[in-house]
A and B are shown apart, each in its own frame.
Chain A
Amino acid sequence: MDLQMGLVLLLSTAAYIGVGIAVGVRLVRLARRTKGFPERMLGISCLAGPGLVAPCLVVVHAIAEPEALVRAAAFVGQIGYALFCSVMVMFTWQCFRPDEGWARWLVRVSIATVVFSAIVGMARALGLASVLELRDMDHWAYRAIGIASVVGHLWTGLESFAYYGRMRKRRVLGLADPVVTNRFLLWGMVACGALVASGVPLAVGFLGGDSFNDVPTRLAGAAATIFGTVCLQLAFLPPQSYVRWLQKRALAAA
């Protein structure tokens, strides 16, 4: 991997971590004020994904010593990944389908899968696997969490885009705020970015490729991460200029 590629990966990861933590902190603080379950779930997922999983992955893949640090990062990373996937599907369930039986079962199966796989991953981090083996993203336990993650992001994206379509119809009648309407679109795009970032390496792994060292795979992941990070920022921490632009555009269309 050359220097330019390394820089792209570093920048995309740093942006993802920075924006994710900023959004996560804001949503958790909002949840403390409103006592709302969805904002708590979304806040925790932002803190767990970008705040825990990404830095731990960097440590596991970048260094081999000290071994205790790498094992600790792998251990904490598994907890973060399971937490991230669990709260993401809980957010989608509670926000879009709180009364649907199939959604409750999808959440249960998803959480059971990620918790079991994370326990296996934690056992490996504690000594069942060597430090270098901890980098193996094609291990079945890692793949199982990956599949749960892909399913969760796919579900989130579909629900968000479907609701965005409904909000657009409402907006024509003046019954929807343009900024809130746009937030559904952006959240769907965040899910698409996450879907590509987690789904492409998973697919490459299933096809027998080296998902971690394959350059196109890494570039696709980095591009999807940057795309998702920009959408996350615009959705939950938008600059005032973006909000004003949305409002102006809606006024012009009215």
Chain B
Amino acid sequence: MEAADPFQFVCDQLGEHVKLDRLALRGAVRLALKSAGFEPRGVRPSEMAVVVSRMLPKELTACGVVDPGPLCTRLAAAVSGLSASAAPDAPDAVFRRLGG
């Protein structure tokens, strides 16, 4: 399984299923990530899956997408199947290690 950028993956998949312009879609995903305490860069697939299932529906609804729940559930399952890339140490990983 190849490593992919979870943010890009979700934006691409949403673009295929939702009739919103690219900028609005990416903005919705960014807002969902921000409200969950993440940035597009460095988010892991497992974390993205939770953000997509729990936070993204609200953002998509705000953009006028009707009933985004089922789509987000499918998308969350797909993104959680991505393999995590070998990203450099995120602060949370560093601070976890510092605990011993």
Which A residues are closer than 8 A to B by beta carbons? 26-27, 30, 34, 36, 38-39, 42, 95-96, 98, 159, 163, 165-170, 173-177, 179-180, 183-184, 187, 235-236, 238
Contacts and interface: CB of A to CB of B under 8 A. Distances in A.
Nearest to A165: B37
A96 B91 contact: yes
B78 interface: no
Contacts of B95: 95, 180, 183-184, 187
Contacts of B50: 173-175
Contacts of B98: 27, 30, 38-39, 42, 183, 235-236
B73 to A, nearest CB: 16
Given A36-B89, A175-B47, A170 B94 contact: no
Contact of B88 (A42, A98, A167, A183): A98
B30 interface: no
A130 B12 CA distance: 70
Given A173-B54, A175-B50, A166 B38 contact: yes
B65 to A, nearest CB: 21
B97 interface: yes
Interface of B: 35-38, 47, 50-51, 54-55, 88-89, 91-92, 94-100
A30 B38 CA distance: 28
A173 B97 contact: no
B89 A177 contact: no
A167 B94 contact: no
Contacts of A169: 35-37
B99 A183 contact: yes
Contact of B92 (A34, A39, A42, A180): A180
A166 B91 CA distance: 11
Contact of A34 (B51, B55, B88, B97): B97
A167 B92 contact: yes
B99 A179 contact: yes
B51 to A, nearest CB: 7
A27 B96 CA distance: 12
A169 B39 CA distance: 12
Instruction: Choose among B38, B94, B98, B100 the residue with the greatest number of A CB atoms under 10 Å from its CB.
Output: B98
Contacts of A175: 36-37, 47, 50
A95 B94 contact: yes
Nearest to A236: B98
A173 B50 CA distance: 8
